[in-house]
Amino acid sequence: MSDLIEDPISGSASQGAGKKTHPKKVRIEPESLRKFREIHSKAAAGGPPEKIEAQRKKGKLTARERIAYLTDEGSFQELGLLMESRCTDFGIKDKHIKGDGIITGFGTVNGRLAAIFSEDFTQLGGSLGRTHADKIAKLMDMAADARVPVIGILDSGGARIQEGVDSLDGYGEIFLRNTKYSGIVPQISIILGPCAGGAVYSPALTDFVFMVKGISHMFVTGPEVVKAATGEEVDFETLGGSMTHASKSGVCHFVANSEPDCFRQVKELMSFLPQNRFESAPQAETKDAVNRKIALLEKLCEIDARKAYRVNHIIWWLSDDHKFLEVHHDFAKNMVVGFIRLGGQVVGVIANNPAHMAGALDINASDKAARFIRFLNNFNIPILTLVDVPGYWPGVAQEHGGIIRHGAKLLYAYSEATVPKITLVLRKAYGGAYIAMSSKLMGGDINFSLPSAEIAVMGPRGAVEILFSRQIKEAKEEDREPLRAKLAKEYSDKFASPYQTASTGSIDEVIEPAQARARLIGAFRMLAGKRRPGDHAHTGNIPL
C-alpha cells in the first residue's frame, strides 16, 4: 500500500474566509510499480526508433500494429512479454531484448478467440532463437488445449546464427506442433516480410498462407545462393514473391495489395471457419430467398458443351447474397475452390472451370482440390462439387510429371471424406474425370444433373470416331460432317444422356436448372445430421 502524505499547499489557510481546508492526501507511486511500468513500456516499444522507421519506409507495419489491425480493439492479451534469449554468446544476452523478437498472445477476431503470434523484424531482424521458438510452441499448445485457431504473422530473417543448432531445434519444435495440431484447429500463416530457409516449412504445414505484393518473400535458398550454386540470376520477387507462389508453386492461397487489405481477407476467411474440429462452421442469417431462381443455369443448358465460361459466375448465382471467397485464385485455374453459404450454412465448393484448359483435370488441379477437400473434411464443412469436365489433360509432361499419382490424391480425398457431399453435373462429365469428381460410387451422398448434361466414357464426337470409323471413312467427303453430327446425337441420346445415368442410379435426380439453389439447400439440410463434429478420425491436412 502506497504512503499518503499531506499536501502543504492545499493545507494552507484560505484567504478571506479565515478557514483552513482539510489536508489533501497525495498518492506516491511505489518504486516497484514505477519500475514495472518502465520495463513494460520499454519492452512493448519493440526495437530502436531507427529500426522502426526503416520498417515503415518499406511500407510495413510494426508487429504490434499488425496485431491491432487483426484483432478486436482491446482484446489482445499478451503472454511472454519479458522473456529473453538464453544465449550468452556474441553479446545477445547483454542486449536484454524483451520478448526475443516475437509477440505472442490471445485476442478476438470479430468476436471469436484466436491464438496469435507476430514476429518483430525490428528486434534482431525477427530471427528465430530458442526462446522465440519456445514462445510460439507454448502458444500453439495452449491454442490446441483451448481449441482455438492459430494465426502466425511472419517477418523474420530466419534462424538466429548466434544461437547455432538451438535455433534449428526451435524450428523442429514448431514443425512438430504444426503437424500434431493439423486438422484439430485451423492454422493460418501471414507472410509480411522475408521467410527463408527452414522458416518456410512452418507456413507450408499450415492450412492457409497469405502474402502481400511487394513485401512478402518465401524461398528455401535466396538469390545469391541460387546464383552461386546454379549460375542463375534472379531477384527476390521473381524467386519467391507473392505472385510467384500464388500462381506457380501453389504455396500461397491469398494475395493482398497491402497489409490492411491482407488482414481484411484473413477476417473474411475466419468467418467461414469453425474454431476447431469439434465444432461446425458458424451459421449466418441471410435474407436471400432459398427458392431464388437461377436463370443462368437455364442459359447454360442452351450453349454448346465445348464453349468456355467461368464457373465462378455459376457459384456466385448459387450462393447466399452472391458471396464467394475463392481460395487459390491464381493457381491451377482449371479448378476453382472456395467457400460460400447456402441457406446460411458454410459450404466448400470444388468446381471444374471450362474457362481454363476446358476444365480438364491435371496435376496441379488434382493437388489443389484434394488438399482443400481434406481441410473441409477435417473441419466439418460440407462439400459441393460442380462438374463440367472433359477428362484429364493429355500430354507427355503430365504423364511424366505423375498425373496418375497426383490424380489418385483427388480420388483418395473424396473417398475418405465423410462430411455431406453433394454433386451437380452442369454440362459434361467424361471418362475417369467423371468418376474422380465425387461421383455416386465414389461416395457422393446426393448427385444431381442438369437436363443438358452429358455423362459418358468420352465425348460423343470422339466416341463416334472410334465406333463408326469405317462408316465415316467410306462416306463421301461432303457427307462426313453431317454423318458425324447425326451419329454423335444418336450416341449422346443413348449413352450420354443424364436420364440414362439416372436410370442406373448413378445420378439421383435430373433437376430443373432454375431450382438448383433450392434443391442444393434442401439436400444439405437433409444431410445435416450425417456426421457429428469430432466423431471423424483425425487425419490432419498433409500438404499435397
Pick from 460, 428, 489, 426: nearest CA to 305: 428
Q: How far apart are CA 336 and CA 359, in angstroms?
A: 9
Pick from 374, 488, 371, 486: nearest CA to 428: 488
Instruction: Give one DSSP letter per residue of 182-233, joined into a string.
Output: TTTS-EEEEE-SEEEGGGGHHHHHSSEEEEETTT-EEESS-HHHHHHHH---
222, 432, 522, 540: the active-site residue? 432
Q: How far apart are CA 252 and CA 153, in angstroms?
A: 14
Strand (E) positions, 29-110?
77-79, 102-109
Q: What's the grid cell of residue 348?
A: 466448400
CB-CB neighbours of 213 under 10 Å:
16
For the question of residue 241 being annotated catalytic, the response is no
133, 433, 436, 516: the active-site residue? 433
45, 137, 144, 198: the active-site residue? 198
Phi-psi region of 231 (alpha: psi -120 to 50; beta: other; left: phi over 0): left
Beta bridge partners of 108: 113
Q: What's the grid cell of residue 358?
A: 476446358
Angle (deg, nearest 10), helices 130-146 and 165-180 = 10
For the question of residue 522 being annotated catalytic, the response is no
126, 152, 197, 359: the active-site residue? 197
Q: How far apart are CA 271 and CA 265, in angstroms?
A: 10
Amino acid identity of 329? H
For the question of residue 462 being annotated catalytic, the response is no
For the question of residue 344 being annotated catalytic, the response is no
- Residues with a known catalytic role: 197-198, 432-433
